Amino acid sequence: MRIGIVGLGLIGGSLAAALSEQGHELWGVSRHAETIATACAKGWLQHGSTDLSALIPTELVFVCAPIPQTLSLVQRLTAVLGIDTVITDVASVKGAITAPATAIWPRFVGGHPMAGDTATGLAAARADLFRGRPYVLTPIATTDPLALERVQVAIEGLSVSLHTMSPDNHDATVAWISHLPVVVSAALVASVGTIDSPELAQAAATLASSGFRDTSRVGAGNPALGVAMAEFNTAALLDSLHHYRHALDQLIHQIEQADWPALETQLHRNRQTRRRFCGEQTGQQ
Amino acid sequence: MRIGIVGLGLIGGSLAAALSEQGHELWGVSRHAETIATACAKGWLQHGSTDLSALIPTELVFVCAPIPQTLSLVQRLTAVLGIDTVITDVASVKGAITAPATAIWPRFVGGHPMAGDTATGLAAARADLFRGRPYVLTPIATTDPLALERVQVAIEGLSVSLHTMSPDNHDATVAWISHLPVVVSAALVASVGTIDSPELAQAAATLASSGFRDTSRVGAGNPALGVAMAEFNTAALLDSLHHYRHALDQLIHQIEQADWPALETQLHRNRQTRRRFCGEQTGQQ
């Protein structure tokens, strides 16, 4: 298949690497000529350009841009692509993108490859980033079935775990397991940042270990991505946050009331819940 | 040195392994004869017994018991040990233990080796568990300086990072970086456990990845340890929880008000804070 990638960061670069490995012919577009040259040198692109019009020969284009730029890139591509070309995206919110993008371009299919890394950019890209990871497609009533099929064919070669759900179900799901943890963790980092005593702050920084490290990780990630998650998935995120706040208040109440049996019951229940979500034995530092 | 270990779980077993490797002569006491036999077979103990009175020849005894049993074990040891023997403990709270234990036994020194593992028990013990990790001693005004020195000499051979602070400072510090993350994470797991829709719960379990996994880990740990942390460090934990709840409410407010500049400012500040506490580049899944 003749495949185009717009945006050669971690996700776009890894898609180029994985898809070219599958024998597809790859066109890449980046604002930076240097990035194009690097990706071509790695053999991940056969054609590179800083100009979207270079994508005219492609049958399928992945828009791999930050959430706030995704729709406007789809809009700009409509002026360039042949009418048969399918466009898909990789944004981690789908309600704000799938329907409007489909209205702009009838052969649009919303997508979300759920893989990542703490490192970003083309330098961190790798062909196996998506292997074994979930890849969600979010077709709606007006999605062209042939367009959906073309995206499925392209990504099935990546050994992903392919899921199909509505944009709203996708957004509600990622609110719980991806966006809520970011805010929960961000509040932890923010609160630790408010420690008044310099001596206490110093001791805390010295003694912080794996428990703090793991719980604080996603709350100190890319600020622009954190804001975009909140801005483009506000309703579902706030719903999960209100549930979270209620659960937190219950735990605080149990501790204030020294209701240790209730606290222990909840912590036992948590082991079951997490096993259901993470499929493993769990432990405490 | 002739060293005794009471309780041969992850911490006690690892202390026996590390201290015997340093050439000390080790006495071990466990309620389970089988555990004694295993530790002796590994060469971690030269003497083992299910009876505390076996510790009579020792110069230094580590009480490696769950928090709620630590004081009563010190009490039982007073009936057994010679007056020169030093007792230390490994409990992760110190205010509730150091002063009362010192009142019972003048040669008591409060300690907290800050190492752990998701696995527990003697099977998970290893000689290098403490290497490079913080080991906090919490002497008070009535601590015998020679007793403190004896503990320091024994643990300095373990290549730990040795810190000395008051029991209250220790408890305030671990409340922030160890006990608060447990409750924050426990509330996340508890709230995810309240998802009503079976379809949404199933999708969330299917799509949960490293962000959820890391943020939920310590909230699904050993329930008895979680309760003991809360029960024996209540005031400091509640103080940090109230700060946390305030930080959470601020983030919720920013999202409700769509105040994205304020949210982005906080997330940028978080990167700095976490770098100060974890000393590394941070990233988002």
pLDDT of residue B164: 97
B178: confidence class by pLDDT, cuts 50, 70, 90: very high
Distance CA B159, CA B148 (A): 17
Helix (H) or strand (E) holding A71: helix A67-78
Mutation test of the interface with chain A: which of B180, B215, B246, choosing the one with the most A Cβ atoms within 10 A? B215
C-beta atoms of B285 and A221 within 8 A: yes
Amino acid at B163: H
What distances in angstroms separate CA A29 from CA A17, A20, A32, A187, B265, one per listed residue?
14, 15, 9, 37, 31
- Closest-CA distance, B40 to chain A, in angstroms, reads 27
C-beta atoms of A183 and B255 within 8 A: yes
Distance CA B55, CA B5 (A): 9
Distance CA A2, CA A45 (A): 11
How confident is the model over B220-249, as a mean pLDDT?
Answer: 96
**Beta-bridge partner residues of B136:** B112, B163
For residue B200, pLDDT beyond 50: yes
Query: What interhelical angle do B198-207 and A167-174 show, nearest 10?
Result: 70
Q: Nearest by CB to B267, from A115, A226, A277: name it.
A: A226
Residue with tokens 């079951």: A272
- Closest-CA distance, A97 to chain B, in angstroms, reads 19
pLDDT in tens, B104-145: 999 999 999 998 777 789 999 999 999 999 999 999 999 999
B280: confidence class by pLDDT, cuts 50, 70, 90: low
Query: What interhelical angle do A223-232 and A180-192 show, nearest 10?
Result: 130
pLDDT of residue B120: 83
Token pair of B47, please? 């003497």
pLDDT of residue A257: 98
Share of chain B above pLDDT 90, in %: 94
C-beta atoms of B267 and A243 within 8 A: no
Mutation test of the interface with chain A: which of B194, B239, B273, B281, choosing the one with the most A Cβ atoms within 10 A? B273
In the predicted model, residues of chain A with pLDDT beneath 70 are: 280-285
Q: How many CB atoms lie within 10 A of CB A51?
A: 8
| Nearest one of A151, A199, A176 to A15, comparing CA atoms | A151
Helix (H) or strand (E) holding A27: strand A25-29
C-beta atoms of B178 and A252 within 8 A: no
| Nearest one of A126, A146, A132 to A20, comparing CA atoms | A126
Distance CA A231, CA A237 (A): 9
The strands making up B2-6's β-sheet, listed across from edge to edge, are B47-49, B25-29, B2-6, B60-63, B86-89, B108-109
At B118, give phi and psi (nearest 5°): -70, -30
Give the residue from chain B lying closest to A188, CA to CA.
B244
Helices (H), B179-233: 180-192, 198-207, 210-216, 223-232
pLDDT of residue B285: 36
For residue B284, pLDDT beyond 50: no
pLDDT of residue A209: 86
Those residues whose C-beta lies under 8 Å from the C-beta of residue A162, and which sit 6 or more positions away, are A135, A137, A152, A155, A156
- Beta strands B25-29 and B47-49, pairing class: parallel
Collect all residues of chain B within an 8 Å Cβ-Cβ radius of residue A212.
177-178, 181, 277-278
Distance CA B2, CA B28 (A): 11
Long-range contacts made by residues B142-148, C-beta under 8 angstroms, separation at least 24?
B142/B99, B142/B102, B142/B103, B142/B106, B143/B102, B143/B108, B143/B109, B144/B86, B144/B106, B144/B107, B144/B109, B147/B86, B147/B106, B147/B107, B147/B108, B147/B109, B148/B109
**Beta-bridge partner residues of B134:** B161
pLDDT of residue A282: 44
Give the residue from chain A lying closest to B255, CA to CA.
A230
Give the residue from chain B lying closest to A199, CA to CA.
B169
C-beta atoms of A244 and B187 within 8 A: yes
**How many contacts (CB atoms, under 8 Å) link A and B?**
349
Q: Nearest by CB to B244, from A118, A191, A284: name it.
A: A191
Share of chain B above pLDDT 70, in %: 98
| Nearest one of A228, A225, A220, A232 to A184, comparing CA atoms | A220
Q: How much is the pTM?
A: 0.92
Give the residue from chain A lying closest to B188, CA to CA.
A244
